[in-house]
Amino acid sequence: MTVELKVTSIDNHIFSFSEEVSIPQAPPEFKSGFIGIIGRPNVGKSTLMNQLVGQKIAITSPVAQTTRNRLRGILTTPEAQLIFVDTPGIHKPHHQLGEVLVQNAKIAIESVDVVLFVVDGTVACGAGDRFIAELLSRSQTPVILGLNKVDQQPTDSQQIDDSYTHLAESYQWQTVKFSAKTGVGLPELQNLLIENLDNGPFYYPPDLVTDQPERFIMGELIREQILLLTREEVPHSVAIAIDLVEETPSITRVLATINVERDSQKGILIGKGGSMLKAIGSAAREQIQKLISGKVYLELFVKVQPKWRQSRVSLAELGYRVEE
């Protein structure tokens, strides 16, 4: 079977819209489906997806609201193809960007076969989790509650565990415990997810790990360094545009613009004598080199685009739109 797809595999394999990609016929009893990873910000959804897929395709950080786009990670085993849909953490939106992100998470719930509701096992169930549970219970999609960060649970975690067991029981959801960081419990999670999928075809070529183009991930890797290296409002005020990716036999040239909302943020990003921009650039360059397994020349520009987070037009231009 051949289909037309726009897909990227991490090992430097880019297919364009028009190229034909061949997808093998699935063996009998093969299982496949889409699994939505849903939860509050910062509970470890993107870390989990990277671990399950075995490659870094989603950026992660200790700052809440790291993920902005719905992002697919694909895991193909001899018996199943699991397509994970990482989503922005669900929270109370404070601006237009937040609203677009939460809206997209809600759409994701409806468009998947199974929801993996990820919670932070280091703290007891709170209002944020109950809000999401309520949202999930209104959908027909089956839900599995996944308790993450068990590696960091306090020694007496009974009360925490009970708070989630109570929640899961009230909706009759299955529960599973794991650590996305150490990998403990992930084989069990994988088996449980496969059990919950129906027989189905390969949706993507078996060697593919994400549906995102490489240049999108490049932009994300730059944003990740900004999240890690700058503080307060700056990380949430940036949007990255990749202006050029030029491949030569010896090096790949990448030109990117960091859009910010205010002059003061531009100042912080550039830093004294350009020191901050240099630090961001060199760390991001290393990450991008890993992504494409090749040498990279990265040039960054900073541009002020006032209030881009409030404007639907600017949001769409920068790649954030409500998905249908």
Ligand X SMILES: Nc1nc2c(ncn2[C@@H]2O[C@H](COP(=O)(O)OP(=O)(O)OP(=O)(O)O)[C@@H](O)[C@H]2O)c(=O)[nH]1
What residues line the site for Mg ion (CB under 5 A)?
45-46, 66-67
Find the shortest distance in angstroms from Cβ 215 to Mg ion: 19
Find the shortest distance in angstroms from Cβ 45 to Mg ion: 5
Toward Mg ion, which CB reaches closer, 40 or 45?
Answer: 45
Which one, of 177, 131, 170, lies nearest residue 151 by Cα? Answer: 177
- For residues 264 and 42, what is the distance between their CA atoms, to the nearest angstrom? 27
| Partner that binds at residue 314, options Mg ion, ligand X, none, CB closer than 5 to 8 Å by kind | none
Toward ligand X, which CB reaches closer, 9 or 60?
Answer: 60
Q: Could you tell me the two tokens for 309?
A: 């987070």
Distance in angstroms between the alpha carbons of the first and the last residue of the chain: 27
Find the shortest distance in angstroms from Cβ 297 to Mg ion: 29
Find the shortest distance in angstroms from Cβ 131 to ligand X: 14
Toward Mg ion, which CB reaches closer, 67 or 305?
Answer: 67
Find the shortest distance in angstroms from Cβ 235 to ligand X: 11
Residues found near ligand X in the complex (CB under 6 A): 39, 41-47, 60-62, 64-67, 88-89, 148-149, 151-152, 179-181
Toward ligand X, which CB reaches closer, 294 or 319?
Answer: 319
| Partner that binds at residue 149, options ligand X, Mg ion, none, CB closer than 5 to 8 Å by kind | ligand X
Toward ligand X, which CB reaches closer, 9 or 179?
Answer: 179
Toward Mg ion, which CB reaches closer, 115 or 296?
Answer: 115
Find the shortest distance in angstroms from Cβ 322 to ligand X: 18
| Partner that binds at residue 287, options Mg ion, ligand X, none, CB closer than 5 to 8 Å by kind | none
| Partner that binds at residue 237, options ligand X, Mg ion, none, CB closer than 5 to 8 Å by kind | none
| Partner that binds at residue 205, options ligand X, Mg ion, none, CB closer than 5 to 8 Å by kind | none
3-state secondary structure the chain: CEEECCCEECCCEECCCCCEEECCCCCCCCEEEEEEEEECCCCCHHHHHHHHHCCCCCCCCCCCCCCCCCEEEEEECCCEEEEEEECCCCCCCCCHHHHHHHHHHHHHHHCCCEEEEEEECCCCCCHHHHHHHHHHHCCCCCEEEEEECHHHCCCCCHHHHHHHHHHHHHHCCEEEECCCCCCCCHHHHHHHHHHCCCECCCCCCCCCCECCCHHHHHHHHHHHHHHHHCCCCCHHHCEEEEEEEEECCCCEEEEEEEEECCHHHHHHHHCHHHHHHHHHHHHHHHHHHHHHCCCEEEEEEEEECCCCCCCHHHHHHCCCCCCC
| Partner that binds at residue 64, options ligand X, Mg ion, none, CB closer than 5 to 8 Å by kind | ligand X
Toward Mg ion, which CB reaches closer, 55 or 66?
Answer: 66
Find the shortest distance in angstroms from Cβ 250 to ligand X: 34
| Partner that binds at residue 42, options Mg ion, ligand X, none, CB closer than 5 to 8 Å by kind | ligand X
Q: Which residues contact 102 (CB under 8 A, 6 or more apart)?
A: 88, 90, 91, 93
How many residues appear in the chain? 324
Toward ligand X, which CB reaches closer, 9 or 67?
Answer: 67
| Partner that binds at residue 33, options ligand X, Mg ion, none, CB closer than 5 to 8 Å by kind | none
Find the shortest distance in angstroms from Cβ 88 to ligand X: 6
